[in-house]
Structure 1
C-alpha cells in the first residue's frame, strides 16, 4: 500500500480479549468527529472469513480452522484493500461481520463511509503480533493443543499466516498502541465478564447465546499462545499497562 493510496493517518489499537479496545475505539472516534475530523473504524473482527472459507481451510490445512479467531481465519487482503479505498475520495462500503450468524454482513447492509478518511482506527486482538517459527515444534501449552494439535500442524499454519499477509497489514498503522493485560488469567476473567454481560442482555430479550465456562475456556485456548506472547513481548509504539480493573498506567514509548 503506497503512501498516496491510504488515509491521512492510521492508528493501530491492539490488546487482548476484554481489554477495552472497542470501548476506547468508539470514544476516540467520537472525539475526532467532534473536532471535525473524519474517522473510519476497521476491526480485524470485521474481516473474518465466512464459514465456507473456514470449512475449506479445515479440510485442507487443519480442523481447528473451522472456528474463527486466530490468525488464518481473517482476510488481511480485504482489510488492506479497504484501507487503500479509504485514502481516496468517494464512498467506501466498510466490511462488517455478524457474529450471531457467523458470516460476513451482506454488502447491502454494510455502512458506507465517504472518503478520504482523515483518520482510520484499525483495531484487533493480535494486531502487531510477530510470528514465532518455533511454535509448531514447541510443547503444547493447553489441552486444546495437546488433544487437537499434538503434531503442531495448526500452530505452524497460524504462525505462517502471521508471517504472510498479516505482516503486511500490521505495517499499515502510523502508530500502534498496545493495551497490555497483567496476565492471561486476567484476560480469562475479563472475557468471562463480557459473557456474563451478554447472558444478562439475552435474559432481558436480546437475541443470541452466551458461552458457558467450558466453552469459554475452549474458545480462549485458541488465543492463549499468542496472547501470552504479546503480554511478554508487546508490539507497537506505545504500551499501556492495564491494572486488573483495566485502569491504565503511564504510557510507555518504545
Structure 2
C-alpha cells in the first residue's frame, strides 16, 4: 500500500481526484477499496467508492437488449454509460453526485434500480471488471483465436466483436481518470477458482447459489466477451499482481 499512498499524495492537489480500478471477478476490488478508505482517513481526505455495477440499465431497458448477446448482465452495453460520464464529470467539478442503488436480488436475480444515494468526497474510486479496457482491432481477435486454439463450442467470435464495439462507448469514461490501477490475478484463471470458492461458501451459508457448472459457464461467458489475454494488459499508473495466495505484488 506504500506505493499507492505515494501515488495518491503525488496526484492529489486539493481538487477532486478520480481513481479507476480494474479487476476481474473475485480478485479483491472491494477489499482494496476498504484499505484505501482507511489509508485516506488517516490523511484526513474524504474518500468514497462506486462501482460500474451501480449504473446498470433498469430491468425494463435490459429486457430490450438482444438475449443472444447478453446472456448475463455485466458486459459493455448493459450500463447507462451516459449517466456514468455525467456523474463523474459532476464529481470532477466538485459537486455532490447522485449514484443509483441497484438491487441484484430483484426479478429473480435479474436486478433493478431501487433509488439513489448522494455522495460528496475529495477522492472517488470507480471500480469494475472491464474499467480501463480499450477496444481492439479485428486482427487481434484472429491472433487470439489462433493462440488459444479455440473451437466454436468454447468461443463465439461474433459475440466478442459485438461487445468490442460496445466497449468504444465507455472509453470517454476512462479519459476522466486521474489515476488508473489494476488488480491483476496471475494467472488470470484464478478468477474462476476464486468465484467457485465464493459460490461454494454461499451455498453452504444460505442454501442458494449457482452450481459449479453454472459458474464455469458464467465466467467463460465474460472471458468470451472480453478475453483477459487480449484486454488485460492495461497501461496503468499502478499494477498490483495477485497470486494464488492472494498476496499483493506491485509490478
- TM-score category by the smaller chain? 0.7 to 0.9
C-alpha distance after superposition, 1:173-214 (max 9, x if no partner): 1111111111232111011122123223314xxxxx311111
Contact 2:135–2:167 (CA under 8 A) maintained in structure 1: yes
Range that drifts further, 24-33 or 83-92: 83-92
**Alpha-carbon distance, 1:93 to partner:** 2.6
Question: 5+ residue gaps in structure 2?
Answer: 1-14
Corresponding residue number in structure 2 for 1:240: 240
How far apart in 2 are the matches of 1:79 and 1:40? 16
Contact 1:184–1:227 (CA under 8 A) maintained in structure 2: no
Corresponding residue number in structure 2 for 1:74: 79
Contact 1:182–1:243 (CA under 8 A) maintained in structure 2: yes
How far apart in 2 are the matches of 1:148 and 1:182? 22
**Consecutive aligned runs of 4 or more in structure 1 exceeding 4 Å deviation:** 88-91, 135-143, 147-150
* SS of residue paired to 2:183: strand
Query: Which aligned pairs between 1:55-70 and structure 2 lie closer than 5 A?
Result: 55-58=63-66, 63-70=68-75
Aligned residues: 230
Question: 5+ residue gaps in structure 1?
Answer: 1-6, 204-208
How far apart in 2 are the matches of 1:235 and 1:199? 38
C-alpha distance after superposition, 1:202-240 (max 9, x if no partner): 14xxxxx31111110111012214242367623422111
* SS of residue paired to 1:54: helix
Corresponding residue number in structure 2 for 1:184: 188
* SS of residue paired to 2:180: strand
Corresponding residue number in structure 1 for 2:90: 85
Q: Superposition RMSD on alpha carbons, in Å? A: 2.7
How far apart in 2 are the matches of 1:214 and 1:49? 27
* SS of residue paired to 1:79: helix
Change (3 A) 1:227 1:148: closer
Could you state the TM-score of these two structures normalised by the residue count of structure 1?
0.79
How far apart in 2 are the matches of 1:96 and 1:75? 13
Q: Which of 24, 46, 66 is equivalent to 2:54?
A: 46
* SS of residue paired to 1:169: helix
Change (3 A) 1:235 1:17: farther
Query: Which aligned pairs between 1:97-246 and structure 2 lie closer than 5 A?
Result: 97-101=102-106, 102-107=110-115, 110-113=116-119, 115=120, 117-134=121-138, 139=145, 146-147=152-153, 150=156, 152-163=157-168, 165-203=169-207, 209-225=208-224, 226-229=226-229, 233-246=233-246
How far apart in 2 are the matches of 1:183 and 1:80? 32
Change (3 A) 1:230 1:18: farther
* SS of residue paired to 1:12: strand
Contact 2:17–2:92 (CA under 8 A) maintained in structure 1: no
Change (3 A) 1:149 1:75: farther
